[in-house]
Amino acid sequence: MTVTHTDRAVLFRSLHTPARPLALANAWDVASARVVEAAGAPAIATTSAGISWSLGHPDGDTLTRERVVDLVGRIVAAVGVPVSADIEGGYAQDAAGVGDTVERVLAAGAVGINIEDGTRPPAELGARLTAARAAAERVGASLFLNARIDTYLFGLGDPATRLKDTLERARGYVDAGADGIFVPGVVDAATIAELAAGVSVPLNIMAVPGAPDVAALGALGVARVSLGAGVAQAAYAATRMAAQQLYETGAYHTLADAIPFPELNGFFSGPR
């Protein structure tokens, strides 16, 4: 049975529910995507930070859209579950360029994207969201458009009005075409509950140490939980630990927890 782009898009959209939040252990290359899928992931989401680091760049819109689209296509081809791509600010100077990026990401097979406001004025992300939605409509593709609001992550604005400001941005982004709202940087349960109550589309929270677990987040109204760059950071921490142990003591006990070679190699036995 052939699974189409539309089939994957419909499935991906249906996974966003507080009853059982969509949990995403974000991947940054084909190998991490296959490992995450094999662990039971119903979908794959990429992390722009992890992708940037793996390609020798810092995070923060430093990659070209061509490199990102190429990697997204490789991940889509390697897994059997829906893929959502983190495109940072859109890898473009203006809204029209974001539309071009979105067309290419859809052509690569992704069914969702994350796009962030960062320190840009909210109106600018609104225009980029509108362009992204128009691009999907032009090519006749279903797209889950997740708008990331960075007020909490970057500590933007007055703390006393941050919740109000975040909800205002969320309403504007939904009006511009967003299907979901992502608010990283929040761990307080009461704030998360207020965000969920005030956002009319699925709410995405980034799980970090100190945040409620997935089930508790669902009870607060969260429909999607992402690990962001955390998995990549943990993988690089394991690399550093193994290297430091080797060079400082000559030991290599950290390798005892490695995925067995035949299992890992088996993830790449051929096209899916």
Q: Are strands 203-206 and 22-24 parallel, antiparallel or unpaired?
A: unpaired
CA distance 37 to 44: 7
CATH architecture of 5-229: Alpha-Beta Barrel (3.20)
- Tens-digit pLDDT profile for residues 192-240: 999 999 999 999 999 999 999 999 999 999 999 999 999 999 999 999 9
pLDDT of residue 230: 97
CA distance 11 to 249: 49
Mean pLDDT within 71-76: 97
Mean pLDDT within 252-263: 94
Mean pLDDT within 139-167: 96
pLDDT of residue 194: 98
Confidence (pTM): 0.94
**Per-position b or e across 28-54, b if 16+ CB within 10 A of its CB:** bbbbbbbbbbeeebebbbbbbbbbbbb
Domain range list for the chain:
5-229
Percent of the chain having pLDDT more than 70?
A: 99
Least confident of 18-27, 35-44, 259-268: 259-268
- Give the tokens for residue 197: 């109550």
pLDDT of residue 201: 98
* Mean pLDDT estimate for the chain: 96
CA distance 36 to 64: 25
Q: Does pLDDT of 158 surpass 80?
A: yes
Q: Does pLDDT of 131 surpass 80?
A: yes
Q: Does pLDDT of 11 surpass 70?
A: yes
Of 60, 115, 65, the residue nearest 91 (C-alpha) = 65
Q: Does pLDDT of 152 surpass 80?
A: yes
User: Which of helix, strand or coil describes residue 30?
Assistant: helix
pLDDT of residue 141: 96
pLDDT of residue 270: 60
Mean pLDDT within 171-186: 98
Which band of pLDDT confidence, cut at 50, 70 and 90, is reported for residue 271? Answer: low
Q: Does pLDDT of 272 surpass 70?
A: no
